[in-house]
Amino acid sequence: MTDVTVGRAGRPRTVEAAFVISLAAIAVQVAVWVLGAFVVSPTGLEELRGELGRDGATRQLAVSAGFLAVLGALWLLFCFRMRAGDGRARIALTVVGLLSGLFFLNTLSTDGFRWSADGGIGDLLLTDLLPDLLVAGAIVMMFLPASNAYFSAARRDGR
């Protein structure tokens, strides 16, 4: 028998935790994009201006921001569906999270770690690893026994 600690609306705390962690991953991803585009030198905007000119850089950042907004909205939709007990949303979040992790591993295999001047690990881990770690945490929470029981019950109930 599974010991299920229930939170609000009859959902296990593990599902609530996966939801909150997923929201944090979305927020971190947006923050990382903003930092990379406008704050951390050399900014994406500076690099794009050098390659595409001012108008091209603005257009490229607008396309990138739009793409991030659409992906973020879909991710958010799946998070709410998962929280409501939709097992298909749980699977979709898992597959996308695993693919994101594979892209990170691919980046490591091609770029390696970038080391900062002070001997620490550079921006690669900040920008790529933190969101992936959050997503991995959410995936784990979605598949703990209490979560599995919740999704099984939701499937039986027709949710």
Span 114-129, mean pLDDT?
55
* Average pLDDT of span 130-153: 94
Strand segments, DSSP code E, in 63-130 are none
pLDDT in tens, 99-120: 988 887 776 666 555 554 444 4
Supply the pLDDT for residue 88.
Answer: 95
Q: Give the C-alpha separation, 24 to 12, whole Å.
A: 19
Helix extents (H) in 112-129: 123-124
Is the pLDDT score of 6 beyond 70? no
**Residue 2: predicted pLDDT:** 47
Global pTM reads 0.80
**Alpha carbons 17 and 22: distance in angstroms, whole number:** 8
77 contacts 86 by C-beta, under 8 angstroms: no
* Higher-pLDDT residue of 156, 18: 18
Residue 79's pLDDT is 96
The 10s digit of each residue's pLDDT in 71-91 is 999 999 999 999 999 999 999
